[in-house]
Amino acid sequence: IKKINLMGICMGGTFSVIYTALHPDKIKNLITTVTPTNFDTDKGLLHIWTRQIDAKKLVRAYGNMPGDILNLGFLLLNPARLMIDKYVGFLENIDNKTFVENFIRMEKWIFDSPDVPGETFRQFIEDCYQKNLLIQNKMVVGGKKVDLRKIKVPLLNIYGKFDHLVPPEACELLTKKIGSKDTEDICLDTGHIGIYVSSKCQRELVPKIAQWLKERDKTVRKTAKKKKTASKAKAK
């Protein structure tokens, strides 16, 4: 396989964007979901908090940044909703087997957070949240400059209108900053987690992604066929 379709979620989406900019020859299509790339916004408490974080001290204290500590920080962004209301809703639906099973699956997924390597955490906080270098094409990773203009593959950029972690303002600029002409923004009426658990989003999002990929595969095949035909004609 020479090229792959790459899809990233949240912080993983940011890393996917960086990887694609550094290795554009390895990516066929790029899909980002609730992915922050523009960190110069006051929309969302996370963006305000992280400007004051001393990432170096945290790394010195913990080494790798514990996933449990990160999860606690996310919960504190909206404690009433995430630490009270959600579980009240669970109790109100305790007799609904399907609801309970889905709730437990999501709880396991949300809190199954691996530790983040210390240096990765430090650079992510300092270069992205505090200096906003990525969207300005000034970020350097592994000695290489991350230039978003080098991303010339198709991009599908999906985010939530009511996302309290990664607001639309943090996502919507990406399609304007990359070098590809084949870009699409999709803003769904949901939040950060709702983009995956909402039944409406599940019905709409997955088919949309599949269709988007199919359309680009068709375009690639047509282009390849035209080149092959032109090559044969030239040979004659």
DSSP element (H, E) containing 188? strand 183-188
Spell out the residues 6+ positions from residue 13 whose beta carbon is closer than 8 angstroms to its own.
32, 33, 34, 35, 36
CA-wise closest residue to 153 among 132, 129, 124, 183: 183
Structural contact between residues 195 and 160, judged by C-beta atoms closer than 8 angstroms:
yes
Choose, from 10, 128, 187, 201, the residue flagged as catalytic.
Answer: 10
The reply to whether 171 belongs to the active site is: no
CA-wise closest residue to 152 among 38, 45, 28: 28
Q: How many residues does the chain have?
A: 236
Structural contact between residues 153 and 20, judged by C-beta atoms closer than 8 angstroms:
yes
Amino acid identity of 216?
R
CA atoms lying within 13 Å on the CB side of residue 90: 15
DSSP 8-state secondary structure symbol assigned to residue 162: T
| CA 171 – CA 47 distance, rounded (Å) | 13
- Which residues are the active-site residues? 10
